[in-house]
Amino acid sequence: MGNKKMTPAQEQYKKLEQKHETKRPVLKNCLKAFLVGGIICVIGQAITYFYIYFFHFTEQTAGNPTVATMIFISMLLTGFGVYDHIGQFAGAGSAVPVTGFGNSVISAAIEHRTEGFVLGVGGNMFKLAGSVILFGVFSAFVVALIKTLLTMWGVL
Amino acid sequence: MLKGKQSWVFTERPVIESSAATGGPFEAKGRLSDDFDILHDDLWMGKESYEKAHTLLLEEAITTAIEKANLTKEEIHFMLAGDLINQITPSSFAARTLGIPYFGLFGACSTSMEGLALASFIINYHGARKVVTGASSHNSAVEKQFRYPTEYGGQKPPTAQWTVTGAGAAVVTNNPDKQGKLVTTSATIGRVIDMGLSDPFNMGGAMAPAAADTIKAHFKDMELDPSYYDLIVTGDLARIGQETTYELLQKENIHIDREKFQDCGLMIYHEDQPVQAGGSGAGCSASVLYGHLLNEMRKGTYQRILMVATGALLSPLSFQQKETIPCIAHAVSIEVHP
């Protein structure tokens, strides 16, 4: 969109075209995202309590089985073709939680099953999630480095 | 015969002997379901991949069109077809099954009219006596290539369009008995127009200037007034693109009656189907024209229509590299021979 070399005719056209564009209903989308994202988090919290009360998990260790369970649910919803409909309704609300990450991996894996397990599923399942992992790990590394340095210098 | 700058007049009036349309489950729930010859209730259509299902759609449309013309595939001299998939494999694979000498075309979603214009030209100049032409798209196969996996939960903006699962094909012949039959009378070949839009979720907006340019060129070359046609139909501009095209034409002093200016992407689905701005894809204009619109012409609803198929000539690579979206439109005039 940020094309600097637009000619005057193109600029003029863009203005004309934008009049007809349906705008994203930002406020409505934010509310929907808040509600659905919130519901997903409530479910996650319930699962955490479930693991704490019925199994020998503490508040610190219950995170891992909770994430695994949420991803499992997301996998089922993706496989049964429900998650994309939730996504169209909720936007960021269902994309940002870990279920959205699961959905991006699983949907790609399902999509490329027809190209075989190695080149299809293996080669493509991280096609969307790959950049999340790369930049997630990299930013974690940078933050950890800063923290280490600050601790070494006695600031923290 | 060349007329004006970029139009052909088909003096021999090639006959559209028959036509057929095939579609998927989503189209079966749409507004025009009665006009499809074959509707599949499953996107896989009994095949192992969406790409194979895509091939099947075109094969069935062509086979049905040939059957309806009471011909056999051996009697067809050439096949002209195209689609949106890399290297147009669905069309070429259908041509492999059918065994008809084949021209593979790529004009994105404008392929249907690129094919009909060329088929009419070949017939008009005695390059063949019988030609079949068609175009197709498959929602899941196309989404897989251009956008995200089908089950991915990304939110599409209201400007996005829904790729039609469908194919349309027509048999064009040099039949001398033309009375009461559908004939192609002229075609205008479009220029590639790029007005600097780069959002692949707003194809209608990107394609509108190409549609307006071709429509303007058609009336100028043919020395006609828009009132000559009972209907002017664009391919897959959908709501945003169609409104924009209408305004562009108004500015060029081409005044079309609003009711007579329609779009295949807006005709094919019901308003309550979740398609955002409307339908798109090479199969959109092909299935609506070769199904619904030609049926309406046979019934006598319209005597003359101008079909303007629009195409966005982008690739997944080109938009990732921040290229803008060049677009094209081709127009073919279809009339009921008196």
A143 & A78 share domain? no
Assess if residue A11 is contained within a domain: no
Residues A139 and A82 in one domain: no
Q: Which fold does the domain B184-336 belong to in CATH?
A: Peroxisomal Thiolase; Chain A, domain 1 (3.40.47)
Q: How many other CB atoms sit within 10 Å of the CB of residue B208?
A: 32
A84 chain-B contacts, CB cut-off 8 A: 150-154
Whether B250 contacts chain A with CB within 8 A: no
Q: What pLDDT is stored for residue A4 in this prediction? A: 59
Do A71 and A134 share a structural domain? no
Q: For the segment B232-264, what is each residue's pLDDT rounded down to a tens digit?
A: 999 999 999 999 999 999 999 999 999 999 999
Partner B contacted by A111 (CB < 8 A)? yes
Which of A85, A90, A110 is nearest residue B149 as measured by Cβ atoms?
A110
Q: Domain limits at A76? A: 25-125
Searching chain B, which residue's CA lies closest to the CA of residue A124? B149
Q: Where are the domains of chain B?
A: 13-173, 184-336
A63 and A36 in one domain?
yes
Residue A151: inside a domain: yes
Residue A2 has pLDDT above 60, yes or no: no
Segment B35-44, tens digit of pLDDT: 999 999 999 9
Average pLDDT in the A90-105 region? 94
Tell me the DSSP string of A52-100. HHHSS--TTTTHHHHHHHHHHHHHHHHHTT-HHHHHHHHTHHHHSSHHH
Q: What is the mean pLDDT of residues B185-199?
A: 96
Identify the pLDDT of residue A155.
83
Q: Are A103 and A142 contained in the same domain?
A: no
Q: Clarify whether residues A152 and A114 are in a common domain.
A: no
Structure-model confidence comparison of residues B329 and A3, the more confident one: B329
The CATH classification of domain B13-173, taken from the options 3.40.50.261, 3.40.47.40, 3.40.630.10, 3.60.20.10: 3.40.47.40
Which of B246, B274, B79 lies closest to B157, judged by CA? Answer: B274
For the record, the structure tokens of A148 come out as: 């280490």
The answer as to whether A155 is a domain residue is: yes
Give me the interface pTM, i.e. the ipTM: 0.87
Q: Are residues A40 and A96 in the same domain?
A: yes
Residues A36 and A69 occupy one common structural domain: yes
Burial of A154 (0-12, 13-18, 19+ CB in 10 A): exposed
Same domain, A64 and A140: no
Rounded to a whole number, what is the distance in Å from the CA of A99 to chain B's nearest CA? 10
What is the C-alpha separation between A90 and A36, in angstroms, rounded? 6
- Using CB atoms and an 8 Å cut-off, which of residues 46-105 of chain B contact chain A? 48-51
- Chain B contact present for A80, CB below 8 A: no
Nearest Cα of chain B lies from the Cα of A63 at a distance, in angstroms, of 24
Residues A107 and A154 in one domain: no
Q: Is residue A138 included in any domain, yes or no? A: yes
Residue A148 parent element (H or E): helix A129-152
Binary contact (A88, B151; C-beta < 8 A) = no
Q: Is residue A12 part of a domain?
A: no
pLDDT exceeds cutoff 70 at B63: yes
CA distance B135 to B65: 13
Is residue A77 situated within a structural domain? yes
What is the domain count for chain A?
2
Task: Let me know if residue A80 belongs to a domain.
Answer: yes
> Distance (Å) from the C-alpha of residue A111 to the closest C-alpha of chain B?
6
Q: Which two tokens stand for residue A14?
A: 């863009």
Q: Measured between beta carbons, which residues in chain B are less than 8 angstroms from residue A21?
A: 159, 202, 205, 240
A84 shares its domain with A38 = yes
State how far Cα A141 lies from the chain centre: 20
pLDDT exceeds cutoff 60 at B204: yes
